[in-house]
Every structure is written in structure tokens, then in C-alpha cells.
Chains A and B, each alone.
Chain A
Amino acid sequence: MVATALIESWVDFAGTPCGILAPLLDGLTERGASLTYIHREDIAVAFAVGAHLAGGHLCVFMQNSGFGQSVNVLASLVEPCRAPVPMIVSMRGTGADTTPENRGMGRTTIPVLQALGIPFRRLSAEHPTADITWLSSQTRNTGGPAAVLVEPEYFGWSSQREHQTMSF
């Protein structure tokens, strides 16, 4: 359902993979989406600004460690340019993810989004299609970035099994 909603809103997808998002990325691939794995998240964000300049419709995905990597490009390119960059960000270091190396970004992601003035919401179990539609309309209507946050449990992630294959 989430993959279908994404494909209905955007033509291209680019970003860096994450175990939490792996089932979603598999879903996009199975549905034939144009998806490219870029080796650094901030490069994907700057690429999305270029795609927007040329009339493209691209959604960026990353885990929140990559959001940390992207803070400067968001602050010094995307925000001042008011570039409509939609982001799907998985939330390592929150909820079921108690791994010590991810705690810092788990605590930091939302305060940084707030400090940058980037609107965000959590991907809900009840209305995921509405959340994706919100991301699309938020970026297109306001002409700025926005993020949908994906909690570790959403697609069945657990620290015991980093990548679980699920149908959804």
C-alpha cells in the first residue's frame, strides 16, 4: 500500500538503503519503480534539487543517520532555495531499535527537523496513503522540503533480524 502510494505520487526515487525501509524498497522494485541507490544521502538530496529544477518528480529515502549527513545540504541549499524535496526517513535509534550506535540520531532527528523548520509526520498504520499524499502536497504546495518518518517496527524490523521480508 505504501509503495503503491509512493508510485502514484512520484516518478523517480533515489536514496540510500536502510534495513527498516528494505521491504518498502523491495516493494518499489517489484512494482517496476525507477529507483536508484545513491551512496550518500546528501548527494541524493542535492540531486533531487536538480531534478526539480528540470521538472522531475523525485522522492528521496534515507535512514536518519543519513539525515544527519544531510543537515548542511538541507540548511544551506534546500531550505534557502525553497526546493520541494520530499523525504522518507527511517528512525533508527527509536522504538524497537535500542542499538547504542543509533541512539544519538534517534534522539536528534526530530529536534533538527524542527530547528530547520521542515514539516514532518510519522507514517501511520491507520492512514499510510494519506501520509504519503500529505508529503506530496506539502512539498508541492509550500515549495519546500518535508519528511515522513518511518518507525523501526513499521515494516517488521527487529534488531535480531535486520532485514525481514514481509508482504505488505
Chain B
Amino acid sequence: MNIRPCRSDVLRTVIRLTAHTPVVFTTGYTSREAHHLADRPNHFYMTGSMGMAGAIGMGIAASTDTPVVVVDGDGALLMNLSMLLLAQQYPTRGFVHLVLDNGTFDSTGGQPTASPGIDLVTLARATGYAQAAQLTTLAQLRDEVSAHLARPAGPYLAHIPIDPTTTPPGPRIAITPADNLRRLSAWISSQPTCTPH
């Protein structure tokens, strides 16, 4: 039986691979746990506006030449599926969209989402992502994300089933949204590879 990786191991793996990449974390426990594991200036914790992490990430990707990673969740993406259309409207090379799927709205008490019946990989391909795949191990995640950051080849979505067991996400995020925005904006403008178009 395949044992799904847990959210914290997935976030640790992503954070380790993205020291030089802007990362947008979706609202709720994903942002809180990422902030708790490692608070870095290339992170944006989207504390509100559930469903919009991909749109923010695409806005960054469309304005620079740098890859961008979005760490989304099944509940958040399903809330705003029309966000997927941005992949064909802005076919940016370095848009890496990771969807952590625990099948629940974990942050609101673990209520079930519709994700078990939805094929996100097919949806992504149908809406304009250049590539989409399901990743079931941390090794696959590491290899795929590394490859897409090193050789960006169009919008990429990875569907990552994770362990649905709820775990403490750490405290609420200390940095204010305004400071978080300013910090990431300054970090992007300081990166030689993040040239605005």
C-alpha cells in the first residue's frame, strides 16, 4: 500500500528546492506550516483570498523571466477552478503549480472536498498547462520540481496526494500582509534573474 507523504514533508521538500524562487503559499494551514518551518523573504503567505494563490503566482510569472512556485490545496483550487485558464492566457515558462490534495478542508475542521472525484491532471492539461502529472513520493516531487525550475517549459501542474491526517500547523503568521508584500517585492527586485519584462 502506498503511504502518502504528509504536508510538512512536502513543504520541507519544496522550501529546500526554492531558495532562489518566489513561492506563494495558499491560505490556511499550508501558509502557517510553511511559515513555521522556514520564514524566507521569497515567501508570500496568502492569509486571505482563498483560491487566489495561483492568480498571484501567475501575475509574478507573467511579469518576470523567473520561475514561480505556487503551493495550492485541493479545497482552494476547487473553489476557483477558472484560475486554471490563466495557463493558456499567460503561457509563462516557469509557472510551477503544486496542488497538495488531502481531500479535506483541513483548516476549517477537515470537512471533505470534492477532490476524490476530480481528475486535476486532466483538467490542467485541458485548460492549457503544458505539462501535468500526479506525484506520489517525495523523491518524485524533488526530481520534478528541480527539473521544472532548472528547465522551465511552460505552465506545469503537479497533483500531490498527501496524508489526510490533520497535524498542528504552527502559530498564526506573524508578518503582516503589507510587510510580506513589501518584503517579497524587494526580494524579487534584488534578484538578478528576476528581470521585469
Interface set of A (CB-CB < 8 Å, partner B): 36-40, 42-44, 46-56, 58, 72-73, 75-77, 80-83
25 residue pairs of the A-B complex, CB under 8 angstroms, read A36-B89, A38-B86, A39-B85, A40-B82, A43-B83, A46-B56, A47-B58, A50-B55, A50-B58, A50-B59, A50-B61, A53-B181, A53-B188, A54-B60, A54-B61, A54-B185, A72-B49, A73-B52, A77-B48, A77-B52, A77-B56, A77-B177, A80-B177, A81-B180, A82-B181
Which stretch of B10-18, B134-142, B189-197 is in the interface? Answer: B189-197
A111 to B22: give the CA distance in the assembly, Å.
36
Given A43-B52, A46-B56, A73-B52, A54 contacting B194 (CB threshold 8 A) = yes
Which residues of chain B are within 8 angstroms of A75 by Cβ–Cβ distance? 48
CB of B62 closer than 8 Å to a CB of A = yes
Nearest B residue to A42, CB-CB:
B52
Q: How far is the CB of B4 from chain A (nearest CB, A)?
A: 29
Contact B86 A54 (CB under 8 A): no
Contact B185 A47 (CB under 8 A): no
Interface set of B (CB-CB < 8 Å, partner A): 22, 24, 44, 46-49, 52, 55-64, 80, 82-83, 85-86, 89-90, 176-178, 180-181, 184-185, 188-189, 194, 196-197
Q: How far is the CB of B87 from chain A (nearest CB, A)?
A: 12
Which residues of chain A are within 8 angstroms of B194 by Cβ–Cβ distance? 54
Residues of B contacting A: mostly = helix
Task: Select the residue from B57, B181, B194 with max chain A CB neighbours within 10 A.
Answer: B181
Task: Select the residue from A40, A44, A54, A82 with max chain B CB neighbours within 10 A.
Answer: A54
Given A77-B46, A81-B178, A54 contacting B55 (CB threshold 8 A) = no
The tally of CB-CB contacts under 8 A between chains A and B is 110
Q: How far is the CB of A15 from chain B (nearest CB, A)?
A: 12
Nearest A residue to B49, CB-CB:
A77
Which residues of chain A are within 8 angstroms of B47 by Cβ–Cβ distance? 76, 80
Taking a contact as CB atoms closer than 8 A, the residue among B22, B83, B85, B196 that contacts A56 in the complex is B196
Q: How far is the CB of A148 from chain B (nearest CB, A)?
A: 21
Nearest B residue to A44, CB-CB:
B55
Which residues of chain B are within 8 angstroms of A42 by Cβ–Cβ distance? 49, 52
Which residues of chain B are within 8 angstroms of A77 by Cβ–Cβ distance? 46, 48-49, 52, 56, 177
Nearest B residue to A50, CB-CB:
B59
Which residues of chain A are within 8 angstroms of B180 by Cβ–Cβ distance? 81
Contact A53 B184 (CB under 8 A): yes
Which residues of chain A are within 8 angstroms of B188 by Cβ–Cβ distance? 53-55
Beyond the given A49-B59, A54-B59, A55-B63, please list 12 additional residue pairs across the A-B interface where CB-CB is below 8 A: A40-B80, A42-B49, A43-B55, A49-B56, A53-B44, A55-B185, A56-B62, A56-B63, A72-B48, A76-B48, A81-B178, A83-B181
